[in-house]
Amino acid sequence: MKENLIKEDKAASSNSAILAAQSSPPEDDDDEAQADDPSQDGAPGAVKKKKKKNKSKKKKDPLQQTDPPSIPVDELFPSGDFPEGEIQQYKDDNLWRTTSEEKRELERLQKPMYNSVRRAAEVHRQVRKYMRSIIKPGMLMVDLCETLENMVRKLIKENGLQAGIAFPTGCSLNWVAAHWTPNAGDKTVLQYDDVMKLDFGTHIDGYIVDCAFTVAFNPMYDPLLQATRDATNTGIKEAGIDARLCDVGAAIQEVMESYEVEINGKVFQVKSIRNLNGHSIGPYQIHAGKSVPIVKGGEQTKMEEGEFYAIETFGSTGKGFVREDLECSHYMKNFDVGHVPLRLAKAKQLLGTINNNFGTLAFCRRYLDRLGETKYLMALKNLCDNGIIQPYPPLCDVRGSYVSQFEHTILLRPTCKEVISRGDDY
């Protein structure tokens, strides 16, 4: 009997040793949990186990964005890997790139840069999703812009020239195609029959996401919006390494001008605005030198590996041609400007503010107001007259016409084309 008991004791102790060995990794976790939570000291094993389960459950629960969004996106993706945009494969002569090990290695080296621009794109997606849910007729345009801009600042963790807004929020209405944002004191209200182009940009370390969509409450305008959406997607599809800019423009125009829209009983063919273009994008440089036309007859220049492009199209019921008009709100420092001696003290001081806060990124008067600048219009004019700052007045088609716009930022990666700003919405 005693011998049996001893045997059973031995078996039990060897079993418990095996169990202990099997459960040793979780025990380490327990120690970690205890180190994190001193209140667990001396607690019975069962209680500890229960707490550990809850703790691991918490760990698995990813942080969720609030409504309205308020959590910076880098906290939602603690790994530092941000969502990839839509991938489109190259075709024909560039098909080999898809499987090239050499090209894949090039991409591995570019990972930090890709993550910077994807982080900027994720901010854009989250902000526009929220804005689309709250934009209603009757809103003051200035309130709309400030809501959007403050959300971008929060989600991107605005930090001087390292992270923030890439250019002023364009919210051009009706026949105004681009470059309109309200100045201080502007009382413009969004109306049910307005066609608004909401064009805003985000950046991380100067890597810019330039992306736009059109808002119209009246379904009468739907074909006009569909024309530009379709034309922009056509431009994206045609773009690629070695694609000629003129061919992209011709494809865009063909799709755009296949649409008609009936407005208040009158039928209009949708026209591509011939003097507006997409453009290449460089670090801290929204227009980096190459233009992507939206009509046929453009340059023979080719797109190249590694380039960023804003593919944007504008469809109009007017002349399909814009000119500068209305009060200016958008300004940008010239990218290549050297040292220019300034005699006006206020102009020197204002240039310091611009250099420190925007560098060569575009800004508007409201952004200067926000930084505490006052009575600066004469100094700003002086900087423009000296060729240091370039004004960008609103671009308008004929009064009474309607213009819509859609835009995405794409990257011509070595192995594929990435539509960085693509979302579930457009």
Establish if 133 belongs to a structural domain: yes
Instruction: Please count the structural domains in the chain.
Output: 2
**318 lies in the same domain as 358:** no
**Average pLDDT, stretch 200-206?**
99
pLDDT at residue 62 in the model: 82
User: Is 407 annotated as contributing to ligand binding?
Assistant: yes
Instruction: Kindly provide the residue ranges of all beta strands, DSSP E only, lying in 195-326, ordered along the sequence.
Output: 195-204, 207-216, 260-263, 266-269, 271-272, 278-281, 291-292, 308-316, 323-324
Q: Is 28 a catalytic residue?
A: no
Question: Does the pLDDT at position 23 exceed 80?
Answer: no
Q: Do 335 and 320 share a structural domain?
A: no
**Residue 264 and residue 248 share a domain:** yes
User: Each residue of 382-408: pLDDT tens digit?
Assistant: 999 999 999 999 999 999 999 999 999
Flag whether 287 is marked binding. Answer: yes
Which member of 84, 287, 325, 369 is catalytic? 287
Q: The domain that contains 356 carries what CATH number?
A: 1.10.10.10
Domain co-membership, 304 together with 353: no
312 is catalytic: yes
Question: Does one domain contain both 242 and 355?
Answer: no
Active site residue 407: yes
Is the model's pLDDT at 96 over the cut of 60?
Answer: yes
What does the pLDDT average to over 139-146? 99
Do 387 and 402 lie in a common domain? no
The CA-atom distances, in angstroms, between 366 and each of 7, 374, 376 are 85, 11, 12
Using CA atoms, how far apart are residues 160 and 10, in angstroms rounded to an integer?
69
pLDDT in tens, 249-295: 999 999 999 999 999 999 999 999 999 999 999 999 999 999 999 99
Q: Is 205 a catalytic residue?
A: no
61 domain residue, yes or no:
no
Of 74, 122, 199, 397, the active-site residue reads 199
Is 8 inside a domain boundary? Answer: no
Q: Give pLDDT tens digits for 24-78.
A: 444 344 333 333 443 344 444 444 444 455 544 445 678 999 999 999 999 999 9
**3-state percent helix, strand, coil for the chain, nearest multiple of 5:** 40, 25, 35
Using CA atoms, how far residue 52 sits from 44, 60, 138, 362, in Å, is: 12, 13, 53, 51
User: Is 49 domain-assigned?
Assistant: no
Q: What is the mean pLDDT of the chain?
A: 91
Q: State the CB neighbour count (10 A cutoff) for residue 165.
A: 23
Q: What is the mean pLDDT of residues 128-141?
A: 99
The active-site residue out of 312, 373, 397, 418 is 312
How many other β-carbons are positioned within 10 Å of the β-carbon of residue 271? 24
Query: For the domain that residue 157 is a member of, what is the CATH number?
Result: 3.90.230.10
What is the C-alpha separation between 120 and 171, in angstroms, rounded? Answer: 20
Residues 259, 367 share a domain: no
In a domain, 76, yes or no: no
Residue 349 pLDDT > 50, yes or no? yes
The pLDDT of residue 59 = 56
Quickly state the pLDDT bin for 307 (edges 50, 70, 90): very high
pLDDT, tens digit, 9 for 90 and up, residues 143-198: 999 999 999 999 999 999 999 999 999 999 999 999 999 999 999 999 999 999 99
Write down the pLDDT at residue 60: 62
CA 421 to chain centre: 6
Q: Which domain holds residue 237?
A: 86-102+112-324+398-419
The reply, when asked if residue 179 is annotated as ligand binding, is yes
Catalytic residue among 279, 373, 397, 418: 279
Residue 67 placed within a domain: no
What pLDDT score does 61 carry?
A: 74
User: Is the pLDDT confidence value at 13 over 80?
Assistant: no
**What are the tokens at 335?**
């990218």
Query: What is d(CA 143, CA 16) in angstroms, rounded to the nearest whole number?
Result: 68
312 is in an annotated binding site: yes
Bridge partners of 316, per DSSP, are 271, 403
- For tokens 């074909």, name the residue: 223
Residue 28 lies in a domain: no
pTM for this predicted structure: 0.86
